[in-house]
Amino acid sequence: MLLPELKQRRDKIRVLMAQQEIDAALITCNVNLIYTYGRVVSGYLYLPLNAPARLFIKRPNTIHGEHIHPVRKPEQLPELIKECGLPVPARLMLEGDELPYREYNRLAACFPETEVLPCGTALIRQARSVKTDMEIEMLRRSGVAHAKAYARIPSVYQSGMTDRELSIEVERLMRQEGCLGIFRVFGQSMEIFMGSLLAGDNAATPSPYDFALGGEGMDPSLPGGVNGTLLQEGQSFMVDLGGNFYGYMGDMSRVYAVGKLPEVAYRAHQVCLEVQEAIAATAKPGVACETLYNMAVELVDKVGFADYFMGIGQKAKFVGHGIGLEINEAPVIAPRMKQELEPGMTFALEPKIVLPGIGPVGIENSWVVTAEGIEKLTLAPEEIITL
Amino acid sequence: MLLPELKQRRDKIRVLMAQQEIDAALITCNVNLIYTYGRVVSGYLYLPLNAPARLFIKRPNTIHGEHIHPVRKPEQLPELIKECGLPVPARLMLEGDELPYREYNRLAACFPETEVLPCGTALIRQARSVKTDMEIEMLRRSGVAHAKAYARIPSVYQSGMTDRELSIEVERLMRQEGCLGIFRVFGQSMEIFMGSLLAGDNAATPSPYDFALGGEGMDPSLPGGVNGTLLQEGQSFMVDLGGNFYGYMGDMSRVYAVGKLPEVAYRAHQVCLEVQEAIAATAKPGVACETLYNMAVELVDKVGFADYFMGIGQKAKFVGHGIGLEINEAPVIAPRMKQELEPGMTFALEPKIVLPGIGPVGIENSWVVTAEGIEKLTLAPEEIITL
């Protein structure tokens, strides 16, 4: 990746470090290495507030260059930092919400004279929440590829398929369009394979996680997603796969039906599109996330679908979430979220309704906040698609 | 899952807890919840040394039963434990190599009177390293399904394919045979999507991780695996996908060639099969892992392939690894590993050679340690398969 891009990202982190009088960051978790170094390695990016970053690398052994130094173990770091002519930091931040407890303590113990702070995760996530122009371009391309894969879904559907069988074909389409497959989520326990295809009442099965909808899954070791439901007339299904193209996770859902659905499904779907419309017309820099969430709930409430909005028995407590290197970045469009939109933020907006006996309806698109409003990145027909 | 099975697993952990005078464990990471509760939830399995386990569950809100209690946040745990008639623990272990630093500290702070120890991960991994009969049965079924998927590889290969194109088809075969897709690895930074297909010189590209072979990958955000290499005559490729069936990760590699390879490839492949034979003839309860590793290296050295064994420029420092809920469990067949095999251990054995200008050869199978020796779980032809 080009150095000016990396420098811009590192400087976004440095601005936040300066506010908290932190004079260095030690970065070792994959998404943060992608963000600050442009690729995954095994090693440490050392980011001083007032000097160029250094990469201390364990593996692979093929990366060399200015400001890149081999390292075997973290205990060597203070000495290597001194050899670079840099002072040992006074206040150093580590990735306290990502590093395992013992690994964090091992790193902290390498700097006995230093005040070590666990705020690295929160601070870097804050920096990452406003994308650079290049990151927006990556998410834009991700949206195009995602839409291309979904456009081919009708061509792989065959009558008599189960949700699982169709999901496998859709996963293949996504991979063929360039999806890297891996689904990066913040939070060590939130596991999912590529996303979900939810058919009929399976969409109402609650998830152990704070995903929008759940699904039973095929095995108790991986709850969520398909459960073997036959795709049949009168039931809807929703495809909601994560679009990890070029490292950037876009998000997009579309609804399909085998033949005709009961009329209520089209009405509920239309409500979700109206929620999307209303939010898109309101969202712009300076608008608080809770305002958008409350708009959604009021609108859905007014037309009588509140009990089925964002799940039935167990509801997701948001209608949108930031996207980027991970599927759940800031901002979150949720109640009591005072955070205001800023130009360059990117998020998925997913008003969804689950109808008992029918299945899921609604929409999900990825958006970027512009100077004047928000712009859609996942362009594709939004009506319920009849197969 | 049946309670006797879960009780057996919990008691394996309790035996180790008793040795360290630990009177309770608080378990919240997914693989350890699968192990001790049989499924993933969001919540905490509280495992006292001398009383039945309790599940304190956040989500989903649909799980009820004896010894199951709803919880909103971990700060409620001490009170809930008391309400169960259980004492607050004196020495409590947490999953110190899996829980993020801040999450660990939050849990520990809930028990101010308690000595909190981070050894939960190591201790549960030790318990998990010797499988129960049911776990062995799961890995046995996983091996059968894995072999069934690989048997169909020749039917999806088409002339002119790249490694990426074929990999997508093999991923689909694995999914069709029931692979859950998700690839569970111990160690927060080790990421891979389903496994790897490595063709020609791409197999020599070093990985950031301690996987057996690397590969460049399609994007710097996910190094490892395919890089777009055309599958062509004179080059070998190796399929090495993780077999997560029923939650249990088996491991299996096979080598393929488009037409005829140079003679040296067949010789090197035969050496790997001989290494496997030699280890299989020696491995049994009581044999130290380093003994098996040293056998492999000596044998390969004697026939002149040492420089190409387990990679070229950057070599993997093992020839086998434990398998189970994660792809990298104990035992590890590596230098200086004094650990001795025990009946019920399961591991993958993967002697591999990378030949410059040709590609990878060798073999990988999953094995279980029996009373008298080891038994292969992934039964399929082992010669280089000509396409």
Contact between A188 and B214 using a beta-carbon 8 Å cutoff: no
Give the CA-trace dihedral at B143, B149, B154, B157, to 10 degrees.
-130
Q: Region A44-50: what's the mean pLDDT?
A: 98
- The pLDDT of residue B211: 84
For residue B216, the chain A residue with the least C-alpha distance is: A60
* Chain B CB within 8 Å of residue A40 CB: yes
CB A55 within 8 A of CB A73: no
User: In this predicted model, what pLDDT tens digit does every residue of A247-269 receive, in sequence order?
Assistant: 999 999 999 999 999 999 999 99
**Residue B54 lies in domain:** 3-128
Which residues of chain A have a CB within 8 Å of the CB of B219? 180, 246-247
User: Is residue B231 located within the same domain as residue B317?
Assistant: yes
User: Is residue B121 located within the same domain as residue B148?
Assistant: no
Mean pLDDT of chain A, nearest integer: 97
Strand (E) positions, chain A? Answer: 24-27, 42-48, 54-59, 68-70, 91-93, 115-117, 195-199, 236-245, 248-257, 320-322, 329-333, 346-349, 352-355, 359-362, 365-369, 374-376, 385-386
User: In this predicted model, what pLDDT tens digit does every residue of A167-198 receive, in sequence order?
Assistant: 999 999 999 999 999 999 999 789 999 999 99
Paired residues of B362 in beta bridges: B352
Which residues of chain B have a CB within 8 Å of the CB of A121? 102
* Chain A CB within 8 Å of residue B74 CB: no
- The domain boundary, picked from B86, B109, B128, lies at B128
Question: Do you find a cis peptide bond into A154, omega within 30 degrees of 0?
Answer: no
pLDDT at B210 over 90: no
User: In this predicted model, what pLDDT tens digit does every residue of A136-160 receive, in sequence order?
Assistant: 999 999 999 999 999 999 999 999 9
For residue B222, the chain A residue with the least C-alpha distance is: A40
pLDDT at A211 over 90: no
* Chain B CB within 8 Å of residue A90 CB: no
Q: Which of A170, A165, A197 is nearest to A181 (CA)?
A: A170
User: Is residue A80 located within the same domain as residue A214?
Assistant: no
User: Is residue A44 located within the same domain as residue A99?
Assistant: yes
What H or E segment, with its residue span, contains residue B374? strand B374-376
> What is the ipTM metric for this complex?
0.96
Mean pLDDT of chain B, nearest integer: 97
User: In this predicted model, what pLDDT tens digit does every residue of B266-300 receive, in sequence order?
Assistant: 999 999 999 999 999 999 999 999 999 999 999 99
For residue A60, the chain B residue with the least C-alpha distance is: B208
Which residues of chain B have a CB within 8 Å of the CB of A317? none
Among B62, B94, B180, beta carbon nearest to A222: B180
- Determine what percent of chain A is predicted with pLDDT higher than 90: 95
CB A219 within 8 A of CB A206: no
User: Is residue B124 located within the same domain as residue B137?
Assistant: no
pLDDT at A1 over 90: no
User: Is residue B147 located within the same domain as residue B100?
Assistant: no
Token pair for A89: 């930091």
CA distances to B291, B341, B342, B376 from B370, in Å: 18, 10, 8, 10
* Chain B CB within 8 Å of residue A313 CB: yes
H helices present in chain B, as ranges: 3-19, 30-37, 77-83, 101-109, 120-128, 133-151, 153-156, 163-176, 263-282, 289-302
Q: How confident is the model at residue B84 (pLDDT cuts 50, 70, 90)?
A: very high
Which residues of chain B have a CB within 8 Å of the CB of A218? 178, 180
Give the CA-trace dihedral at B15, B82, B56, B34, to 10 degrees.
0
CB A346 within 8 A of CB A131: yes
Find the angle CA(B163)-CA(B168)-CA(B170) to the nearest 5 degrees: 90
Paired residues of A346 in beta bridges: A368
For residue A59, the chain B residue with the least C-alpha distance is: B208
User: Is residue A34 located within the same domain as residue A146?
Assistant: no
CB B59 within 8 A of CB B70: no
Report residue A3 CA to chain centroid gap.
Answer: 25
For residue B104, the chain A residue with the least C-alpha distance is: A101
User: Is residue A317 located within the same domain as residue A375?
Assistant: yes
- The domain boundary, picked from A108, A127, A146, lies at A127
User: In this predicted model, what pLDDT tens digit does every residue of A329-358 receive, in sequence order?
Assistant: 999 999 999 999 999 999 999 999 999 999
- The domain boundary, picked from A68, A92, A127, lies at A127
User: Is residue B236 located within the same domain as residue B261?
Assistant: yes
User: In this predicted model, what pLDDT tens digit does every residue of A54-111 receive, in sequence order?
Assistant: 999 999 989 999 999 999 999 999 999 999 999 999 999 999 999 999 999 999 999 9
- The pLDDT of residue B314: 87
* Chain B CB within 8 Å of residue A336 CB: no
**Min distance A59 CA to chain B CA atoms (Å):** 5
* Chain A CB within 8 Å of residue B313 CB: yes
Contact between B181 and A194 using a beta-carbon 8 Å cutoff: yes
| Chain A interface disruption, residue of B31, B34, B36, B40, most A CBs within 10 A | B40
Tell me how far apart the alpha carbons of residues B248 and A315 are, in angstroms, rounded to a whole number: 31
The number of residues making up chain B comes to 387
User: Is residue A330 located within the same domain as residue A370?
Assistant: yes
CB A306 within 8 A of CB A359: no
Tell me how far apart the alpha carbons of residues B274 and B175 are, in angstroms, rounded to a whole number: 32
For chain B, how many structural domains are there in total? 2
* CATH number for the domain that contains residue B109: 3.40.350.10
User: Is residue B119 located within the same domain as residue B152?
Assistant: no
User: Is residue B103 located within the same domain as residue B184?
Assistant: no
* CATH number for the domain that contains residue A316: 3.90.230.10
